[in-house]
Structure 1
Amino acid sequence: MSLNKLIVPSWLCSIFTIFLPPIDDRFPIYVFFFSIFIYLSGLSILNRRFIPRISFIVVIVFSIFITLIIVSHLVNIDVSFGSYFVKFLVNILFLFSFVLYSYNNKKIIVSNVKWLRFTLELIIFLTFSQILLNVHLGNIWLIPVIGVQNSIDGYEIMKYPIYFGSLDKNTWATKFVFIVIVYLSFIYFKVFSVSKIKKYLMLGMATFCVIYMLSRTAQLSFILFIFLFYLWKILFVHKNKLLKVVTLTVLIITSVLASFILFDKLFHIKLDSADGLAARLYLWKAFYLHLEHMYIVIGNGIFSSGYILPLYERMDNALHWHNAFMTMFADVGFFGLIIFIWILKFIFWHGDLNRKYRLIFLCYFVPLFISLNSQYAGYDNDVVIYSSLVIFLYIFFIYDKKLK
């Protein structure tokens, strides 16, 4: 069997498995499928013995980043977390492998849209089923109406068994929003087609999940993407000037009204011990307090927050900085942070596309940027999966000749 017949399915399985709860905390299921994809795509590149059709600087930058990760771990081996080192390395290798493979196999990647659609729809359906079950078990049907008073109240839905999703509510909600954003975008750009009934059915299920997951980060990301997407559509798709003015006015009024309603019901922010925002402010304060003690060149080891945060009052139970850029600086140093920013630029800014299609990628970057600044450590599996899906859309545009 050709390797190409296995590589894309392994990528699709990787997407699906980030929603499977871990059997063992030390070995999440997705690591196995990520490793398979890395191995198969590596074999494909070696067997064909070609020079990757991608800028040489991309290969160099990714290679330097991987080297920095390894060096930071080895130099700080006494305090660096081995399990997170493996997670970080596997996720970056996965993204690097996808970049190399997709840029050299555009036709193969694009030809598997049927199975990609099935994977995304299955994730949306199973997430909806899980959320629906937990809402029923908790009898919390009215929570969007009565609202929540703090972050702890938002975890009501997690008190029941999770068969599909994530054990962390906010991470689950955010990775789900990423999938929904990609699914709806792929329909709009005709990457694949679905009936109107199915489209609105999937949108309804997705909206239900986003509301009842009660994650402010995910909800804000979803709302901002919708706003930016329609703003982009008004500016670059609608031709009639009067229609542009009318639709823009309706969009702004609707967005403002929706923001007030959502803020009142779901975005209660109180800077006390029960609020997630307050906890993040303490975390970020600890980062700046410890900044002068950090090794800014090679970093302080992978998941360095695990030993830095307990040094500060009220930080015993904290896991990480809840800011990817802080994490990169602390873990792999200043140069690692610069490379991380460069990789984001490589994924979400494409100067070879025309202005219309170039700017749409900024709409995809905003939800990720919000999550990176408030929730993620930076080397999370959903970050690289979302990035791979955005790269897929770029490959589709290239293949469809949307360059001028």
Structure 2
Amino acid sequence: MATTLQQQNSALPLPVLEWKDVQLSELVFCMAIAATCLPIKVYPALFLVSAGFSYIESGKKYVAPWVIGLGVFSLYALISFFQVYEGQAALVTGITKLIINFAFLYCSFNWLAQRNNQNLLYLLDITLHVVFALLLLQLLVYHEALHFRLIAGSSSSGQASMLYDPQLFFWGLADKNMLGARIALLGFLYILVPVIRYRRVALWRIGFIFLLAYLSLSRTPIVALLIGCGYLLWTVLSKKHRIVMLVALAVLVPIVLQKVIRVDELTASNDGMGVRLVYWQAFFSHIADISPWGNGFMKAPSFLNQYAQFYHGEPHIHNTFMSCYLELGIIGLASFVLFLAGYAQSCFIINTHIHFWVACFLPLLAIMCILYSGYDNDIVMYLVLLVPLGTCRDNLPFSDVNIGLWNKKEKY
């Protein structure tokens, strides 16, 4: 495996996109990514079509350690599903999502890791341009409907959720926290694209993604983006500029904590973080009541309804790893961790630059600690999209990456 999955060393900047060389499989792949933002759920079909193209076009079918972990997790989830299924439509939706998402992940990885992804990286950049332009329009429509009363921020999570009128929803996600997480994950990849293509951090992209995160009124993307962008800039900057960065953080962090994160409200029962703390307290206080084999696929709601001080109806416990143990026990948690660690190892084989991968995985881990089940779309999409970034990145260290307001060389 290590001799085949290698980065595509090319002189930077990468050559301009040749539209005549674009393949149908690449277009379908980008359409599948964008389709996850549509209110009509057409993305499962596109995921399957893209997986089919990927499977046909890929050469060797690798069985890396992460594939074994993924297979065990999927099989055990399927067994658990049949044990607890009593006609619930939500369970059918959940297990279908798991199977489709993991098939898409496996087939896409094999395909992407064995091919030249330079044209695909351009197409992905265009796709993300469109995704975030429409997302900005969606957020402005939300704010306009409230006469921009919340444009300066909200006083609580409950008030922030008022922004999301389902009758106005046409792009992104209808849930505040899930949309915020998508902005953070896809947004960080959007920030990394010029780092890969031109060895340059484009500040306008960072500013634009933080603007979207702010307009979403979700604190989730702010925290994840601060972690990811902070690490990225720290590795890129020289020692003297790191001092300037630390001073700027010392000034800005208290303001962000007070005005954006609303740290004074974190433990309130109507605050999103306060809800998480109650759920996590219930998990650890009653961990002995959880079967070591798990309580069953998608059984987190019944556990929280029974043991939490209050329960607002969420389908998970707001922590990927806790959800894995609660629903699928030791086998589910261990196989998921093996899958994630093995996937990171395979990414490192593709490109051995440790700082790049640390920067990539930090935002994902940060969000997984406060959101998601183990098979959600955004986790799968993020892991898949890491591969073309890794294959196209050169071997030069981050110290050779420069910083600018924008990249004047961007052409399509």
Which range, TM-score by smaller chain?
0.7 to 0.9
Match of 2:139? 131
Tell me, yes or no, if structure 1 residue 393 matches structure 2 residue 389: yes
Higher relative contact order (CA 8 A, sep 6+): 2
**2: CA distance between counterparts of 1:401 and 1:203?**
24
User: CA 1:141–1:201 in structure 2 vs 1: closer, same or farther (change >3 Å)?
Assistant: farther
Give the corresponding residue for 1:272: 268
Among 364, 368, 371, the residue aligned to 1:368? 364
Q: CA deviation at 1:272?
A: 2.3
Q: Choose which of 29, 32, 49 in structure 1 pairs with 2:45.
A: 32
1:102 and 2:117 are equivalent in the alignment: no
Matched, 1:19 2:37: yes
Other-structure match for 2:256: 262
Stretch of structure 1 that moved more, 112-121 or 76-85: 76-85
Q: 1:246 and 2:261 equivalent?
A: no
2:28 alignment counterpart = 10
Q: Which runs of 5+ in 2 are unaligned?
A: 1-21, 398-412
Of 186, 192, 195 in structure 1, the residue corresponding to residue 193 of structure 2 is: 186
In structure 1, what is the equivalent of residue 219 of structure 2?
Answer: 216
1:296 CA drift (Å)? 2.2
TM-score by length of 1: 0.83
Partners of 1:324 and 1:377 in 2: CA distance: 5
Instruction: Give the alignment of 1:72-83 within 5 angstroms.
Output: 72-78=80-86, 81-83=91-93
The aligned counterpart of 1:308 is 303
- Does the C-alpha gap of structure 1 residues 373 and 79 become closer, same or farther in structure 2, counting only changes over 3 Å? farther
What corresponds to 2:315 in structure 1? 319
Q: Indicate conservation of the 8 Å contact 1:191/1:396, yes or no.
A: no
Residue type of the partner of 2:52? Answer: Y
Seen in structure 2, the aligned counterparts of structure 1 residues 354 and 11 have a Cα distance that, compared at 3 Å, is closer
CA offset at residue 281 of structure 1?
A: 1.4
User: CA, structure 1 residues 191+116, in 2 after alignment: closer, same or farther (shift >3 Å)?
Assistant: farther
The number of residues matched between the two structures is: 369
Structure 1 residues 296 and 97, CA gap change in structure 2 (3 angstroms): farther
Amino acid across the alignment from 1:263: L
User: SS state of the match for residue 189, structure 1?
Assistant: helix
In the TM superposition, what is the alpha-carbon distance from 1:65 to its structure 2 partner? 2.6
8 A Cα contact 1:309 1:316, kept in partner: no
- Work out whether 1:232 is the aligned partner of 2:239: no
1:55 Cα deviation from its structure 2 partner? 5.4
- Which of 180-189 and 308-317 deviates more? 308-317
Distance of 2:389 and 2:198 partners within structure 1 = 8
Which region of structure 1 is more displaced relative to structure 2, 54-63 or 130-139? 54-63
Q: Distance in 1 between matches of 2:354 and 2:234?
A: 14
Contact 1:174 1:218 in 2 (8 A): yes
Shift of residue 326, structure 1, vs aligned partner? 0.9
User: Unaligned 5+ residue runs, structure 1?
Assistant: 235-243
1:336 Cα shift?
Answer: 2.1
Contact 1:95 1:388 (8 Å CA) reproduced: yes
What is the DSSP-based 3-state SS (H/G/I as helix, E as strand, rest coil) of the residue aligned with 1:112?
Answer: helix
* Structure 1 pair 14–367 and aligned structure 2 pair: CA distance change class (3 A): same
Offset, 1:117? 1.4
Change (3 A) 1:337 1:51: same
1:177 pairs with 184, 194, 198, which one? 184
Equivalent in 37, 42, 48 of residue 55 of structure 2: 42
CA RMSD of aligned residues (A): 2.7
How is 1:315-394 mapped onto 2 (pairs within 5 angstroms)?
315=311, 317-349=313-345, 350-352=347-349, 357-394=353-390
TM-score scaled by length of structure 2: 0.81
Indicate the SS of the match to 1:301: coil
In 2, Cα distance between the equivalents of 1:56 and 1:211?
A: 39
Is 1:120 the equivalent of 2:128? Answer: yes
**Bigger helix fraction:** 1
Query: Secondary structure of the equivalent of 1:386?
Result: helix
Residues 207 and 62 of structure 1, relative CA distance in 2, 3 Å threshold: closer
Deviation of 1:305 (Å): 0.8
